[in-house]
Chains A and B, each alone.
Chain A
Amino acid sequence: MSFFFQLLINGISLGFLYGLSAMGFVMIFKSSSVLNFAHGELIALGAFFFLALVTWAQLPIAIAFLVTLAGCFALGFLIERIFLRPLIGEPLIYVIMLTVGLAAMFKGLMLLIWGGNLQTYPDFLPGFLTLQWDILNIPPAYSAALILGVTFLTVFGLFFKYSPQGIFMRSVADNQKAALSLGVHVQRVFALSWAIAALVAGMSGVVLGIINGINVHDLSSIGLKVFPVVILGGLDSLSGAIIGGLIIGLLETFTGGYLDPSLRDVIPYLVLVLILMVRPYGLFGLVEIERV
């Protein structure tokens, strides 16, 4: 029974990370209809950036983490400014191809700087994060994932629901022409959604790096996991992304724990296909409001 709970908690922690990074992906898609194929590379970049700050620059952990978040935010902003903005008005497929190109570029850059070997962070998580009841034992990385997941979720939930800037962002996703007619800075909204997406991706990258170690290939392939998560949750639903993430996270850990670790990466996709056969718009995709 305790094994069950162990897996449950691990699955939820992992699921939050998947869900959060999928949320970034969905945000870009919702505001500008762009599928970002460089998402996995953004996750990996976050992890390596943190590594560099901790090992090379020797910054204290908390500061290194904040600098990583700020750096990722700025990077997302710049990606939109430098690479995507010139393509505004061009067919969407060019923009999507551009993100494929960005993915290759970032990956090459990381391989050049850090190589393809597995690296690890120094052990820095405080002991009190290790939760222990009976024989149930939650490693500190997972409790950190849980705490960060819930925090980010709350912050972004409140931001989108109540802050004017969050409302403007949703208005662009809803009806771009109308938003433009009211003077909403649509391009600023695109840039902001890239910035936030890169920030949550980088944050997930750091925590996944703590859990699994840091490797360019492994981390950027997690970007692929965004697809089942997002399709499960519906491409256009932020809360769906979180729930999709939790489902994939739980499926993975339970498959790995009870069936066979080698099936971990297969089962989620099988379930994905089954669900898509029943609900093609995902479990939580927006049901089009027909009236109007």
Chain B
Amino acid sequence: MSGSTILEVNNISVVYSDVIQVLKGVSLMVERHSIVSLLGSNGAGKTTTLKAISGLLKPENGRVTDGMIIYHDEPIHNQVPEVITRRGIIQVLEGRQPFKYLTVEENLIVGTAIRWGKPYKKDLELIYHYFPALLERRKILAGYCSGGELQMLVMGRALMAKPELLLLDEPSLGLAPMVVDEIFQIIRKINEEQKTSILLVEQNANMALHISHYGYVMENGKIVMEGPARSIVENPDIREFYLGMSASGQSKSYKDVKSYRRRKRWL
């Protein structure tokens, strides 16, 4: 492993409940301080890949049966999340998952669980600096926040843990285009200013590749393509199947939608 790689997923297989095989030999790498996108259609196994890294497979009765996950030169696969979070990997779950009956600020404080007892006032200020909307709402129950605010909240909550590697699962899910823009700008800013490495799972391939350095495309539990983000954006297959454009760059018309449907057969 080269010195600038912090995470290496090496040919892993993941099985749920001892019988359902979901990942069939996935390999990827995250370089220090970089943003890496992991793209793919529904059910491809993106979330499963993130959970394998963060240890959250375990409570769902999933297991890495083959291959290795190496973080800072040490294997971490099949460890419990309590250990992996303390080593600096935090996953932001799909569908946001706020603590609904806790206030916005209390949600953020839960992010300090891995360094319980240490002061966190400065870190709160930093989060409010990145997400000013949260400062206004700090005393409100999270359950009453809007989708955009919640996305900021769960990202802020994860940042309170000062992760070295942040795993983001579909941050743009169900948000208005303007808000999506804002979220992606903040992700880029956090990467640049806090030097946080980010593994970003997205359906919104265009946006994700735009802020990423490197990208992977998954299909049916396998990586089918990888490369620098630019090269993926320019790949004609990807343009057609993930960015919804024909090779010439125009948006596809509904007439051509059949091939798209064919491609999504794992839905």
Which residues of A are in contact with B by a Cβ distance under 8 Å? 89, 164-165, 167-168, 170-171, 174-175, 177-185, 286, 289, 291-292
Contact = CB atoms under 8 A, between A and B. Distances in A.
B232 interface: no
Contact of B144 (A89, A164, A289): A289
9 contacts: A164-B112, A171-B113, A175-B98, A175-B99, A180-B59, A182-B114, A185-B113, A289-B141, A292-B150
Contacts of A177: 56, 59, 93, 97
B212 to A, nearest CB: 22
B72 to A, nearest CB: 17
- Specify which of A168, A177, A180 lies most central, judged by the most chain B CB atoms within 10 Å of its CB: A180
B102 A170 contact: yes
Nearest to A165: B116
Contacts of B86: 183
Contacts of B97: 175, 177-178, 181
Nearest to A236: B101
Contacts of B114: 182-183
Contacts of A184: 110, 113
Nearest to B146: A291
Given A174-B101, A183-B90, A292-B143, A168 B113 contact: yes
Contacts of B141: 289
B102 A181 contact: no
B74 to A, nearest CB: 18
Interface in B146-203: 150, 154, 157-158, 161
A182 B161 contact: yes
Interface residues on B, range: 35 or more
Interface string B52-69: 001010010100000000
A178 B86 CA distance: 15
A178 B107 CA distance: 10
Contacts of B40: none
A177 B98 CA distance: 10
Contact of A174 (B99, B144, B158): B99
B100 A292 contact: yes
Contacts, number: 93
A261 to B, nearest CB: 41
Interface of B: 54, 56, 59, 61, 81-82, 85-86, 90-93, 96-102, 106-107, 109-114, 116-117, 141, 143-144, 150, 154, 157-158, 161
A146 to B, nearest CB: 30
B50 to A, nearest CB: 10
Given A168-B110, A168-B113, A289 B143 contact: yes
A57 to B, nearest CB: 35
B98 A182 contact: no
B17 to A, nearest CB: 12
Contacts of B110: 167-168, 171, 179, 182, 184
A248 B99 CA distance: 32
Given A170-B102, A175-B100, A286-B101, A181 B93 contact: yes
Contact of A182 (B96, B100, B113): B113
A180 B111 CA distance: 11
Contacts of A165: 116
B88 to A, nearest CB: 10
Contacts of B99: 170-171, 174-175, 178-179
B81 A183 contact: yes
Contact of B54 (A89, A171, A181): A181
Given A183-B114, A289-B143, A164 B100 contact: no
| Max count, chain A CB within 10 A of own CB: residue among B98, B113, B141 | B113
A292 B151 CA distance: 11
Nearest to B51: A181
Contacts of B157: 182
Contacts of B91: 181
